[in-house]
Structure 1
Amino acid sequence: MGTLYPPRTRGRLFSESIPTLNDAAAATNYGVPLLPVYNAPPTSHVVGLGQPTNDGIPSQEEVSSDLRRMRSGYSAMLWLIWCVLFGSLRLGATLSAILQNETEFELAAGHRQGRLFPFYTIGRIANVPCIASNGLQGTCLIRGECADNQGIFGGSCSTLTTQATCCIFSRTCGGSTNLNSTYFTNPGYPGSYNDGGTCTFTITPCSASVCQLRIDFRSLNLAQPNGEGNCLTDVLTITGGSSAVPQICGENTGQHVYVNFADLNPITIRVSTTAGSTVDRMWNLQLSQIACASQFRAPEGCLQYYLEPSGVISSFNYGFGANPNLNSLGATGTRQIAGQRYGICIRAAPDRCTITYSLVSVTNDSIRIPFIDCFVWQPTTDGSYAFTVSGDAEVLDPTLIGMGIFGENGDICTTDYVVIPSPVVTDVNAAGAVFTDRFCGLGLFAVTSQVKPFVVYVVWDDNEEPDVANRGFRLAYSQNACTLGA
């Protein structure tokens, strides 16, 4: 802001002489009440300087002194009014500028009315993300507005005023919201939920500039699918958007999905549960609205969108342990959820031209090791079950599962598989092999792709019965720097 000057009065600085305050026009300009007109007595009534006449009329000097005092008082009052008004405007503009700076997610601003503080109006606070004192993401609001919307105060989100709080919105079954960064939890969260029924929650875009909803599964633990991969005991469904979301059940904490809004129509989340289950089911879903113009908006066709140059991707319900449910043949069931078809996208980092996918080393709960005429259970730390997407995982020595030579490729992959566009495999054990973009079986070589956007497509068919003891996949990805000429 430039050099500050006091207000001017018709071309004069405020410190210069001002018109007499009993002048109607001048009083109107200064916004002060018009003083009653005082008519000085004729000279014949003045008997001496500073001495009143016998009829009680003050002297001319006293009149002049009174007028000077009144002018001085009104000058001070006008300075005070100017300072308060200027201070309010400056504070409001500064606070709004600070709070308009969005965080990495560039979440869309909502629509709210500003609130009045005593003596001044603070600038409209932007509906931007903030981190509350408990580590949860909230929305920066005036405290009164947070309370009006049944929010929870999560600590200050401004260094300029204590009236701004990081407001956390937490809702449960039967609720709805058009507020950004809302949490949808099971009744009694963080405790478990053992009742049966359907818990429904709806989300409406907070403005016409919103295009997507990101749902982060901060906690999602439901019953496992049956042995054929169907979500019969518990299931989470998401409807109302213009993009499809498959049914989800099992253990999915840490996963996320993106859903496109269909214009301003609401998106509905339903969690259906069966009473009597021994599963300690719970859920805490963070709902973040993404602006249409945001650079963090997921590309079309991407159910998931990862923003970091390296990390881990996994199929829904991937886990170290096998599904405790048996299939119809009495064999160990699969953790793969039937009927899954979606894309996992990864944002390309600057100066990165290719991406490599490889098995993640994981700690399985245990594996069965032959010992003379019996079996012993021994923990392992390897990537053996990090890629088990089709076939019978129990017919293979567990120490061999995951090796690339037990993977399959191409036309053999017709039921469950992942698609990695234009793959390049450099493993010496794959020398001479020609690879297409379909990978399945019980193992995977490290695979590199240069097709952008970086994407892995997941295809599980509707019958998972043959896929005994499969976990799905858990892959590490790493983007590679561009080489000369790339």
Structure 2
Amino acid sequence: MVSKVLLLVLLLKFCKSNDISSPNTAMKWMASKGVLNRVSFPRWNFDGLLNKANPANKRESGFWPSSQKESRFLSLFTVVTFPNGACAGASGDNGTCMTARECSTRGGSANGQCANGFGLCCIFMTSCGSSTSENGTYFVNAGYPSSYDGAGSCDLTVIKSHPDVCQIRLDFNRFTIAGPEPTNHVCNQDQFIVSGGNPIPTICGVNQGSHMYVDAGVGTTQPVKLTFVTSGNSYERIWKVKITQIPCSSIYKADEGCLQYYTGVSGQLRSFNYDPASGLQLSNQDYGICVRMERNFCGIQYTACPDNVNNRSRAFTLSGNSNGPVNAMIGSGTAINNCANDWLLVPCATNVGRVQPAQALCTDRICGGTFSAELSMTAATVLSTVKPFRLWFHADNIEAPIDIDNRGFCLNYVQQPCTNNVA
């Protein structure tokens, strides 16, 4: 979309016989100054206008007498257009550049200038019981930026801004609600629920910096609803969720089946509510995590994030009692060292630097308390060359009495060039 601004320019020019030889000279002077760029005007009868104003001013011999000095006023109407693109508001929030009237009509609030001062950065922020079709809307708790301490349901209905929108990305700029109960790690007090799109697991706890992709379907489909449910004990809750609508043809569109989608040669990915000090792995999780394969890269390596809080790393703790050392468990099945209940699937994973037998079977599931593609107490860097780059996380609804205080996972990834003997 494009916004338009109408400008009125008032020009004052004193005309003299020694520098103006005809009524059109003023027009030429303005053109030389850039005033008339891309603006056209009718052929005006300057003499008639002057003579009507003052009969003594008659044209003689095709010029104005040198003894006369008259002020001339010319009103110029210019239309300035600028696209309704993204902009950064004075508060640091992202908005849409538009005119003040458009911003007010559409329910936004002006937050700084854009388009060289011709437009305003319009921020859309809404809370409980409302709906929005504006791209870039922020969904916040009641009373934001203050925290919320109460029980109830706060929902927002997201309507497609255009039938060509295929996905909705949710960025959790702020996300602190009550975490799961400590026994089986179920979100039974506070919950964040997404409905109307693809199946998405319920989450809770602290998830600031995380994101989700919601499948919005093709064409005109039912809206997506975002709901925060708060209950139970008193708690200082705060949330601010940025909503971005992604067209089907966008290069930022996530691959199908990816709840989380990362881009770039390197980065970091985490399970929801991960925190090495106090976070708990959430139960009832089942979703895909994808990394876009960049050009000329054929493999990807994963390494557990540094843990500067505990004396023993808890950056990968999915199974067992993580209050003590737990070895890596691999593969599917019901044996003691298999991953039968909770796991992270890394397609055909191998430890970097380990030469595998020619007929070795791929390791897919990894769990336990150590990140490694082998049964080991030593963490390793794990390589996968299966394309596209995709992980899958699964957690059931039971933790105790075997699984205790697991944190989930945090992994750093680095894509590997095709020239590094990676096929």
Could you say which TM-score interval applies, normalised by the shorter chain?
A: 0.7 to 0.9
Q: Pick the aligned partner of 1:135 from 65, 71, 92.
A: 92
Aligned to 1:345: 290
- Cα 1:390/1:144, change in 2 over 3 Å: same
Q: Distance in 2 between matches of 1:450 and 1:430?
A: 14
- Counterparts of 1:54-453 in structure 2, within 5 Å, are 65=60, 84=76, 119-123=77-81, 125-159=82-116, 162-226=117-181, 227-241=183-197, 243-262=198-217, 263-264=219-220, 265-275=222-232, 277-322=233-278, 335-364=280-309, 379-380=310-311, 384-394=313-323, 397=324, 400-401=325-326, 405-411=327-333, 412-426=338-352, 435-445=362-372, 446-453=381-388
Q: Pick the aligned partner of 1:456 from 378, 381, 391.
A: 391
Q: Give the secondary-structure state (helix, strand or coil) at the position aligned to 2:348.
A: coil
User: 1:435, CA displacement in angstroms?
Assistant: 4.3
Q: Counterpart of 2:264 in structure 1: which amino acid?
A: E
- Cα 1:65/1:252, change in 2 over 3 Å: same
Q: Counterpart of 2:184 in structure 1: which amino acid?
A: E
User: 1:65, CA displacement in angstroms?
Assistant: 3.6
Q: Which has the higher contact order (CA 8 A, sep 6+)?
A: 2
CA deviations 1:294-340 (Å, max 9, x no partner) are 101101000011112111111111112346xxxxxxxxxxx222221
User: 1:231, CA displacement in angstroms?
Assistant: 1.1
Aligned to 1:72: none
Identity in percent: 34
- Contact 2:330-2:363 within 8 A present in 1 as well: no
User: 1:150, CA displacement in angstroms?
Assistant: 3.1
Q: Distance in 2 between matches of 1:135 and 1:127?
A: 18
Q: Give the secondary-structure state (helix, strand or coil) at the position aligned to 1:393.
A: coil
Aligned to 1:476: 412
- Contact 1:360-1:386 within 8 A present in 2 as well: yes
Q: Distance in 2 between matches of 1:407 and 1:472?
A: 14
Q: Distance in 2 between matches of 1:467 and 1:351?
A: 41
Unaligned runs of 5+ in 2: 1-22, 26-41, 50-54, 65-71, 373-380
Q: Distance in 2 between matches of 1:214 and 1:484?
A: 34
- Contact 1:316-1:337 within 8 A present in 2 as well: yes
- Contact 2:110-2:121 within 8 A present in 1 as well: yes
- Contact 1:200-1:270 within 8 A present in 2 as well: yes
CA deviations 1:351-401 (Å, max 9, x no partner) are 22110011111223xxxxxxxxxxxxxx53x5x21111122223xx3xx44
Q: Counterpart of 1:392 in structure 2: which amino acid?
A: N
- Contact 1:410-1:435 within 8 A present in 2 as well: no
Count of residue correspondences: 360
- Cα 1:122/1:209, change in 2 over 3 Å: farther
Structure number, greater radius of gyration: 1
Q: Counterpart of 2:133 in structure 1: which amino acid?
A: N
- Contact 2:350-2:363 within 8 A present in 1 as well: no
Q: Counterpart of 2:205 in structure 1: which amino acid?
A: G
Q: Counterpart of 1:151 in structure 2: which amino acid?
A: G
Q: Give the secondary-structure state (helix, strand or coil) at the position aligned to 1:154.
A: strand
Aligned to 2:5: none
- Contact 2:328-2:367 within 8 A present in 1 as well: no
- Cα 1:153/1:481, change in 2 over 3 Å: same
Q: Distance in 2 between matches of 1:452 and 1:338?
A: 28
Aligned to 1:368: none
- Contact 1:129-1:137 within 8 A present in 2 as well: yes
User: 1:139, CA displacement in angstroms?
Assistant: 1.1
Q: Distance in 1 between matches of 2:416 and 2:354?
A: 20
User: 1:406, CA displacement in angstroms?
Assistant: 3.2
- Normalised TM-score (structure 1): 0.67
User: 1:200, CA displacement in angstroms?
Assistant: 0.8
Q: Distance in 2 between matches of 1:317 and 1:484?
A: 35
Q: Distance in 1 between matches of 2:151 and 2:418?
A: 53
- Let me know the Cα RMSD of the aligned residues: 3.3
Tell me which moved more, 445-454 or 470-479: 445-454
Q: Counterpart of 2:316 in structure 1: which amino acid?
A: F
- Normalised TM-score (structure 2): 0.76
Q: Pick the aligned partner of 1:467 from 382, 400, 403.
A: 403
CA deviations 1:404-442 (Å, max 9, x no partner) are x43333432121111111212235699998542111111
- Contact 2:350-2:362 within 8 A present in 1 as well: yes
Q: Give the secondary-structure state (helix, strand or coil) at the position aligned to 2:370.
A: coil
- Contact 1:143-1:163 within 8 A present in 2 as well: no
- Cα 1:484/1:476, change in 2 over 3 Å: closer
Unaligned runs of 5+ in 1: 1-13, 17-28, 37-57, 70-75, 85-118, 324-334, 365-378
CA deviations 1:30-50 (Å, max 9, x no partner) are 5889x89xxxxxxxxxxxxxx
- Cα 1:222/1:431, change in 2 over 3 Å: farther
- Contact 1:410-1:436 within 8 A present in 2 as well: no
Q: Give the secondary-structure state (helix, strand or coil) at the position aligned to 1:438.
A: strand
User: 1:153, CA displacement in angstroms?
Assistant: 2.0
Q: Distance in 2 between matches of 1:231 and 1:66?
A: 93
Larger strand share, 1 or 2: 2
Q: Distance in 2 between matches of 1:284 and 1:15?
A: 60
- Contact 1:211-1:261 within 8 A present in 2 as well: yes
User: 1:126, CA displacement in angstroms?
Assistant: 2.7
